[in-house]
Chains A and B, each alone.
Chain A
Amino acid sequence: GESVGLHLPTLSVQEGDNSIINCAYSNSASDYFIWYKQESGKGPQFIIDIRSNMDKRQGQRVTVLLNKTVKHLSLQIAATQPGDSAVYFCAEIRVPNQFYFGTGTSLTVIP
Chain B
Amino acid sequence: EAGVAQSPRYKIIEKRQSVAFWCNPISGHATLYWYQQILGQGPKLLIQFQNNGVVDDSQLPKDRFSAERLKGVDSTLKIQPAKLEDSAVYLCASSLDGPSVSPLHFGNGTRLTVT
Contact = CB atoms under 8 A, between A and B. Distances in A.
A31 B100 contact: yes
A32 B42 contact: no
B105 interface: yes
A103 B100 contact: no
Interface stretch (A12-20, A63-71, A76-84, A93-101): A93-101
Given A42-B108, A89-B42, A104-B42, A98 B103 contact: no
B56 interface: yes
Say whether chain A's binding surface is mostly helix, strand, loop, or mixed.
strand
Say whether chain B's binding surface is mostly helix, strand, loop, or mixed.
loop
A60 to B, nearest CB: 16
Contacts of A28: none
B45 interface: yes
B104 interface: yes
Contacts of A31: 100
B41 A98 contact: no
Interface in A31-76: 31-32, 34, 36, 41-46, 49
Given A97-B55, A103-B41, A43 B91 contact: yes
Contacts of A45: 106
B100 A43 contact: no
23 contacts: A31-B100, A32-B99, A42-B109, A43-B91, A43-B106, A43-B109, A44-B91, A44-B104, A44-B106, A45-B106, A46-B103, A93-B99, A97-B98, A97-B100, A98-B45, A98-B56, A98-B99, A99-B33, A99-B99, A99-B104, A103-B40, A103-B41, A104-B41
Given A34-B104, A43-B107, A104-B42, 4 more contacts: A43-B93, A46-B105, A97-B100, A101-B43
